[in-house]
Amino acid sequence: MTSLNRRRRPARATTLLASVGLASLATTILPAFGADEPVKGGTLIYATDREPTCLDPHVDGDMPQVFIAQQYTDSLVSQDKDGKIGPWLAKSWTVSDDGKTYTFKLRDDVKFTNGEKFNAAALKANLDHIKNPATQSSTAGGYIQQYVKTETPDEFTAVVTLSKPYAAFLEVLAQGFLGIEAPSALARPRNENCETPVGTGPFKIIKWDRQSQIVLERNPDYNSAPPTAAHQGPAYLDQIIWKFIPEPSVRFASLASGDVDVIETVPPESEADAEKNPDLTLIIADRPGNPTNGAINTTRAPFDDIRVREAFVRSADISSALDSVFFGRYKRAPGPLSAATPFATPDFKNLYDYDPDRANALLDEAGWTEKDANGIRQKDGKPLTVHVPIGDFQGPAERSLWEQIQATAIGTGFDVQLEPLGFSEWLDRQATWNYDIIPEYWNTNTADVLRIVLSSEFLGAAGSGGYHQNASGFKNAEFDALVNKALETQDPEARRKLYYDAQKIVASNFLQVLTFPQSTRLGVYKTAKGVRLEPSLSVTTLYDAWVQK
């Protein structure tokens, strides 16, 4: 669901004469501006809120890393806005019948910015690097745990073997987190490659001043743009200054004054101002994956009872909460998959609708019939208390949102206890299942996210030190079978059907309080043109961008 909010047109002229005058004026001026022809050269200043801790997206794997990686790496395959996989550094590929062997034919004319050649050995080096435990890869590495080995029968053919069928493999390969880097650069110690990674992309990393900015320069030999790009050949910009401005009001003011050309994460309170300002344009797109939600802990009372889970979901007025916290700028998520995810369906949205009458009936039925002086329901002398740990890293908006949910849930007799915690303490509560609801989200470009956040495989493997991605503790054999079967077929229609059924099970088991889809929200000053969000994770790409200053 990509929505491109163009700036508002100037006030409409009220008299015919004025319109005619304006129209003729416009025709005379337009050619002088050269329409919107890309201009080569210049520097674009981009300001974001969060700084990566490593510029190599294989290591760890947090969103700020993929934003910078998208500028200097190419991926093996591309993904368009309909979720279709296309070529990129791989020209073509075949998948074996058992779904475990992928044979890639690679481009033979691509070089890394250090002069090294891209070939099958380079692909092998990258997949091995991502899989290597010493890389400390938690996103890219997590997505290819099925990877076994790569063989290179000739220089530009790579045969990749997986331990089990994994139809989401091509999808995750299209993410910037699995961007392709130069083998000799990857061979250096991790801290060096974090500082100055090397890709085949349209820009190259020149310098990183921590807590200040990253400088990137154009790769003059770039010849490997994906089919989703608006042009081919080298990028237009000479240079990108990638600044870190954590304070939202400062970031927005810097954009409004033209000190920076593009900002990421436009503060919600400034979006209306941005739309009114003729110098600014907003580019907003949802990210694919599991939307922001409160995962409901089904492993302990009171939410081990599905009636109590449904009652909570029904007693939370999400739409009103979003309107008040985000000034009407954020819409409710349509289901367990954000609309930008392949195979997402909005068909089960009404299961998440606000319905306090139904919530009250369900709670009565579940035996929570007593009420104390404050209207909190009780059963066997125990109050209906819901503990919700909220990390300080989740930001004030998320906190306000849950305060709103708290306020509507008390109407049906839930005592929602919001517990603000520091990062590590919050992680500890998550790891030890010590919560009734915990706010979370998962950005990824495949419906396979359902398996990660809700299947029994992700309840915390041995040796995972408390890590569990399935925060609701949901354990359902039918659901597990569906999401695993969806990995065994490459047929899109078969996958659609399986994921449809899987989404139905998730929605009707009331496992998450769905709030809003994660999104990328750029503010663009009039000096910057051609700024885009790539389709796989809605990440900024400045390859097609140019500046007019």
CB of 394 or CB of 503, closer to other proteins: 394
Nearer to other proteins, 70 or 443 (CB): 443
Among 121, 253, 376, 410, binds other proteins (CB under 8 A): 253
- Asked if 403 interacts with other proteins (CB under 8 A), we say no
Q: Is residue 430 a contact residue for other proteins (CB under 8 A)?
A: yes
Contact between 206 and other proteins (CB under 8 A)? Answer: no
Chosen residue from 3, 94, 163, 249 binding other proteins by CB under 8 A: 249
- What residues form DSSP beta bridges with 47? 243, 263
- Told to check if 142 binds other proteins by CB under 8 A, we report yes
Residue 137 as a binder of other proteins (CB under 8 A): the answer is yes
Q: Output the smallest distance, CB 131 to other proteins, in A.
A: 8
Residues 40-59, mask of contacts with other proteins (x by CB under 8 A)? -------------xx----x
Stretch that binds other proteins, among 67-75, 210-218, 339-347, 529-537 (CB under 8 A): 210-218
Helix residue ranges, H only, 371-491: 395-409, 423-431, 449-454, 477-485
Of 107-115, 140-148, 162-170, 347-355, the window that binds other proteins (rule: CB under 8 A) is 140-148
* Angle formed by the axes of helices 318-325 and 395-409, nearest 10°: 140
Of 248 and 530, CB closest to other proteins: 248
Region at 235 (left for phi over 0; alpha for psi -120 to 50; beta for the rest): beta
Where b means 16+ CB within 10 Å and e means fewer, 471-484 reads bbbbebeebbebbb
The answer to whether 511 contacts other proteins (rule: CB under 8 A) is: no
Q: Provide the sign of the torsion angle of the four alpha carbons 13, 37, 271, 535, taken in this order.
A: positive
CA distance 94 to 409: 52
Name the residue nearer to other proteins (CB basis): 138 or 378.
138
Quick one: which of 75, 297, 455, 469 contacts other proteins (CB under 8 A)?
469
- How many residues contact other proteins, by CB under 8 A? 61
Of the candidate residues 250, 328, 395, 549, the single one contacting other proteins (CB under 8 A) = 250
Binding status of residue 299 toward other proteins by CB under 8 A: no
* Contact status: 254 vs other proteins (CB under 8 A): yes
Stretch that binds other proteins, among 246-254, 358-366, 375-383, 525-533 (CB under 8 A): 246-254
Q: Say if residues 293 and 401 touch (Cβ distance below 8 Å).
A: no
Q: Give the C-alpha separation, 246 to 61, whole Å.
A: 20
For residue 260, the SS3 value is coil
**Is residue 423 part of the contact set for other proteins (CB under 8 A)?**
yes
Q: For residue 469, give every residue at least 6 positions away whose Cβ sits within 8 Å of its Cβ, in sequence order, or none.
A: 442, 452, 453, 458
92-100, 120-128, 231-239, 463-471 -> range binding other proteins (CB under 8 A)? 463-471
If one asks whether residue 247 binds other proteins (CB under 8 A), the answer comes out as yes
Which of these, 77, 354, 336, lies nearest to 226 by C-alpha position?
Answer: 77
Contact call for residue 393 and other proteins (CB under 8 A) = yes
Q: What is the 3-state secondary structure (H, E, C) of 320-351?
A: HHHHHHCCCCCCCCCCCCCCCCCCCCCCCHHH
State which residue, 373 or 462, has the beta carbon closest to other proteins: 462
Give whichever of 200 and 470 is closer to other proteins, judged by the CB atom: 470
106 is a site residue for other proteins (CB under 8 A): no
Query: Is residue 467 close enough to count as binding other proteins by CB under 8 A?
Result: yes
Stretch that binds other proteins, among 188-196, 310-318, 403-411, 504-512 (CB under 8 A): 188-196
- Confirm if 470 and 290 have CB atoms less than 8 A apart: no
Whole-number Å distance between alpha carbons of 408 and 547: 48
Distance (Å, whole) CA 299 – CA 296:
9
Q: Which two tokens stand for residue 357?
A: 């009458």
- Rule CB under 8 A: is residue 128 a binding residue for other proteins? no
The residues facing 111 across adjacent strands are: 117
Q: Are 335 and 349 in contact (CB under 8 A)?
A: yes
- For residue 296, give both structure tokens: 């409901």
Q: Does 339 bind other proteins (CB under 8 A)?
A: no
Q: Does 61 bind other proteins (CB under 8 A)?
A: yes
Piece of the chain touching other proteins by CB under 8 A; list 75-83, 203-211, 226-234, 377-385: 203-211
Q: What residue type is 428 in one-letter code?
A: D
> Considering the rule CB under 8 A, would residue 457 count as an interface residue with other proteins?
no
**Please, what is the minimum distance in Å from the beta carbon of residue 278 to other proteins?**
19
Per CB under 8 A, the list member of 70, 113, 126, 139 interacting with other proteins is: 139
Between CA 243 and CA 43 the distance in angstroms is 13
Asked if residue 461 binds other proteins (CB under 8 A), the reply is: yes
Under rule CB under 8 A, residue 443 binds other proteins: yes
Among 128, 195, 279, 403, which residue interacts with other proteins (rule: CB under 8 A)?
Answer: 195
CA dist list (Å): 228 to 258, 285, 522, 540: 29, 16, 19, 13
- From the list 88, 36, 9, the residue with the least C-alpha distance to 541 is 88
If the CB atoms of residues 121 and 253 are measured against other proteins, the closer one turns out to be: 253
DSSP 233: S
Rule CB under 8 A: say whether 441 interacts with other proteins: yes
Please name the residues in contact with 383: beta carbons below 8 A apart, sequence gap of 6 or more: 372, 376, 377, 415
Say how far apart CA 86 and CA 248 lie, in whole Å: 37
Residues that bind other proteins (CB under 8 A): 53-54, 59-62, 133-139, 141-143, 145, 190-191, 194-195, 209-212, 243-247, 249-250, 253-254, 257, 259, 392-393, 422-425, 427-428, 430-431, 440-443, 452, 458, 461-467, 469, 471
